[in-house]
Each structure stands twice: as C-alpha cells, then as structure tokens.
Amino acid sequence: MQRLGQSGAACSGESRAGDDERGRAEIARSRDAEYLSVLSSLPESPIYPFADLRSSMARTLTIKSTQKLLSGSEMPVLGYGVYKTPASVAEEVTVEALRVGYRHIDSAAAYGNENQVAAAIKSAGLARSDVFLTTKIPPAASASGYEAARQSINDSLRQAATEYFDLILIHAPFGGKEARLGSWRALVEAQRAGKTRSIGVSNFGIHHLKELDAYIQSGGGGQIEVGQYEIHPWLGRSEVVEWLWKRGAVVQAYCPIVRNQRGDEPILQELSRKYGKTPAQVLIRWSLQKGFVPLPKSVTPSRIKENADVFDFELGEDDMARLTTDKYEPCAWDPTVSPL
Ligand SMILES: NC(=O)c1ccc[n+]([C@@H]2O[C@H](COP(=O)([O-])OP(=O)(O)OC[C@H]3O[C@@H](n4cnc5c(N)ncnc54)[C@H](OP(=O)(O)O)[C@@H]3O)[C@@H](O)[C@H]2O)c1
C-alpha cells in the first residue's frame, strides 16, 4: 500500500524529531488556517496522521493511500461501510467493492454481516492481509462491561472466521464508567493477544474520551488509535477531531454522504457542476481533504464505483471553506451527548 508523507515519524529518537520538524514545516505550507491553529498547540506526539493530508500531498491521494495508526498499521483512506447492508447481499456487494478497489471494510457485530463481508475477501481472490477489516463491540455488550465485551470480541472473530481484525472499536459509550473502562480493558487484552491490530472508540464525546484518557494515563493500557464519528459539512465536530488529532489518533467519518439527504443543497449542486462530479463524490472528497477516513456505504454497484471515483479531482481551498459549516446537524444517532 502507498503510504503518505511523514507518517514514518512513528520511529523513535532523533529521526522522529527530524521528521516532526519536517512535518511542521510541511504543515506550515498547508492552506487551512483551522488546522494550522491545531498544529501550534500539538504536544510531543510521535505522529500526526492529519499532517500528511492537510498538505499539498492531498492531491496525490489514491485509493491505495493509507493513514498510519499509532500501532504502526496502515489504514486505507477510503472505507466501505456496510451498516444496513443485509446479510443476504453483503458478500456479493463487498466483492464488488473489493473489485472496484476498496481495501477497507467497516463492519460491526450489530450489523449482522461480519461473516459475509469477511467471506467476500476470499471470494474476491484476496488474502486476509490485503484488506483492512473493522468490527465493533455492540452497545449491549460494552454497556455490560468487561466480560460481555470480551465475549463479543471472540464471537466476532468466530463470525468472521478470521484470526484477527485490523480494528475493533467500542461502538458507543453507553453503560457508565465501569462498563466503558471494562470494555476498553477487554480491547487492550484482545490487542495484546493478537486478536486485533488496532483499537479505538466510536461516538465517544469529549467527556467520555477524557475519562478513558485518564484511565490510560494511569496505566490502564492501550492507546486511542481511532475515533469514528458522524462527520460531514453539517457536523464538523471540530472539538472532538482536534482532541483526537492532538493525540495522534486517526478520525473516521461515518455518514460521509449524509445518507443522501443533502444532494439538493445549492452549494453541493454548484460544486457538483463545477467539478463535474456528483454531490456524493464532492462530499467524500471534502472528507478526504479534511484529513478524515470516510466510510461511504452503498449496496448499488454503480454507486459503489462512483463513491470510489474521487481521486481524480481536488476541491479548491475556497470551495472547501464554502462547503464547511459550523452547524451541528446529525443525520444518525448521536451517543456523543450521552452522560457519563
Ligand atoms: N459507528 C457508528 O455508530 C456508525 C453509524 C452509522 C454508520 N456507520 C458506518 O459508516 C457507514 C456509512 O454511513 P451510512 O451508511 O449511515 O451513511 P452514508 O454512507 O452517508 O449513506 C448511505 C446511503 O446513501 C446512499 N448512497 C450511497 N452512495 C450514493 C451515491 N453515490 N449517491 C446517492 N446515494 C448514495 C445509500 O444507498 P444504497 O445503499 O441503496 O446505494 C445509502 O442509503 C456505515 O455503513 C457504517 O459502516 C457507523
């Protein structure tokens, strides 16, 4: 897989410092004031995955480009979402996605299709190691705590008939502190046992993230490598994104095409005409250029292809800014606001 930019800065010592220097210089040349302000307050984190994408290198992205995770694994920058993809068609449509070139599948125990999407890897003639496969501990399990989360991870491995996942996330922060931290402990154990390469969270609000960070800092183990959130121009989540990026986590964007509910927005129509791309392609490209890892879902072959055909154009700086809003308008659930 092609790797982007200075993510090799994950190595230690002087070379890391040198890479950091170069990374900062690179960012300084980048064009987005919003992220420059983030950079100025970065702690001594070894890698800044977003730095690669905020630079002029964004235009060199391909479907094979990856973002490097804190564990050292590489995550392809475009994922294929399978929420609401019925098990009856999941293998077939995932084979289609793999044929088109996606190498990253975002599944979950709650989606009921782990078996079929994992089977698609073999059916497409690919090795397990060719594809980045994600699952999530379902809310019912993580809300029950350590034992249920541990069981759920083992069930997912069995369902998918795989020896490991590339990423396991806690799907939502429900259940209270003890359950959340117990689920995290199960994830850390799974990672140490080789059952997953990387771990992270989904839908954690800043208060949940801080609670988890305090646990990790006090010796709880693991690193928040990935945060998965609903993110699109009408829900930027800048506070959460900044918090995660400062700590070197990669941010995945779900509902990147807002479930096809915003296609008539005048700005999208205008940019669609200007770039000769569909509204969905403009939205996916916006997500990539922001430095996120978008996870568009479709069961429709023409759309599966369309959603991956986003690497031959670049939105201009002005258009990126015009498409970005400060609205808070989720189109899906929003567990980030749930209490501790
Ligand atoms: N962690 C979480 O809590 C969470 C929550 C939601 C989603 N996710 C993940 O993120 C993925 C994406 O989110 P999502 O599925 O909710 O929303 P989405 O990807 O924004 O939108 C999917 C919807 O848009 C349609 N669509 C796809 N491509 C299109 C195109 N080019 N033009 C017009 N319509 C198009 C799809 O229809 P067809 O399928 O009929 O083509 C489907 O109805 C999920 O599949 C899942 O993997 C995670």
pLDDT of residue 60: 87
pLDDT of residue 17: 36
Single-letter amino acid, residue 138? P
pLDDT value at 14 more than 70: no
Give 229-287 as a DSSP string.
EE-BTTB--HHHHHHHHHTT-EEEEESTTGGG--TT-HHHHHHHHHHT--HHHHHHHHH
**171 catalytic, yes or no?**
yes
For ligand 1, say whether the CB of 254 is within 6 Å of any of its atoms. yes
For ligand 1, say whether the CB of 203 is within 6 Å of any of its atoms. yes
pLDDT of residue 234: 98
Instruction: Write the pLDDT tens digit of every residue in 208-225.
Output: 999 999 999 999 999 999
To the nearest whole percent, how much of the chain has pLDDT over 70? 83
Separation of first and last alpha carbons in the chain: 39
Using alpha carbons, list the distances in angstroms from residue 312 to 59, 61, 86. Answer: 8, 9, 31
For ligand 1, say whether the CB of 331 is within 6 Å of any of its atoms. no
27, with CB counted inside 10 A (0-12, 13-18, 19+), is: buried
pTM over 0.95: no
Domain range annotation of the chain: 61-321
For ligand 1, say whether the CB of 215 is within 6 Å of any of its atoms. no
Residues 6+ apart with CB under 8 A from 25: none
The residue whose CA has the least distance to atom 36 of ligand 1 is 298
Beta-bridge partner residues of 66: 3, 76
pLDDT value at 151 more than 60: yes
Residues 6+ apart with CB under 8 A from 72: 10
DSSP character at residue 71: T
Nearest Cα to Cα of residue 223 among 204, 186, 198: 198
The residue whose CA has the least distance to atom 15 of ligand 1 is 297
Beta-bridge partner residues of 293: 252
For ligand 1, say whether the CB of 228 is within 6 Å of any of its atoms. yes
pLDDT value at 245 more than 80: yes
Between residues 313 and 12, the one the model is more confident about: 313
**207 catalytic, yes or no?**
no
pLDDT of residue 125: 98
pLDDT value at 306 more than 70: yes
Lowest mean pLDDT among 13-17, 147-151, 209-213: 13-17
For ligand 1, say whether the CB of 110 is within 6 Å of any of its atoms. no
State the average pLDDT over residues 16-40.
Answer: 39
Instruction: Write the pLDDT tens digit of every residue in 35-75.
Output: 334 334 433 333 444 544 444 456 689 999 999 999 999 99
Beta-bridge partner residues of 74: 68
Rounded to whole angstroms, the Cα distance separating 253 from 247 reads 17
pLDDT of residue 59: 65
Give 300-327 as a DSSP string.
-HHHHHHHH--SS----HHHHHHH----
State the average pLDDT over residues 86-113.
Answer: 98
Measure 281 CA to ligand 1 centroid, in angstroms. 13
Classified by CATH at the fold level, domain 61-321 comes out as TIM Barrel (3.20.20)
Inter-residue contact 117 to 105 (CB < 8 Å)? yes
Q: Which ligand 1 atom is the nearest neighbour of the CA of 83?
A: 45
The residue whose CA has the least distance to atom 43 of ligand 1 is 259
Q: 48, 102, 171, 254: which one is catalytic?
A: 171
Instruction: Write the pLDDT tens digit of every residue in 251-297.
Output: 999 999 999 999 999 999 999 999 999 999 999 999 999 999 999 99
Q: 35, 102, 111, 254: which one is catalytic?
A: 111
Helix %, strand %, coil % of the chain (to 5): 50, 15, 35
pLDDT of residue 16: 37
Measure 258 CA to ligand 1 centroid, in angstroms. 7
Give 142-161 as a DSSP string.
HTT-HHHHHHHHHHHHHHHT
pLDDT value at 142 more than 50: yes
Token match 């646990």: residue? 215
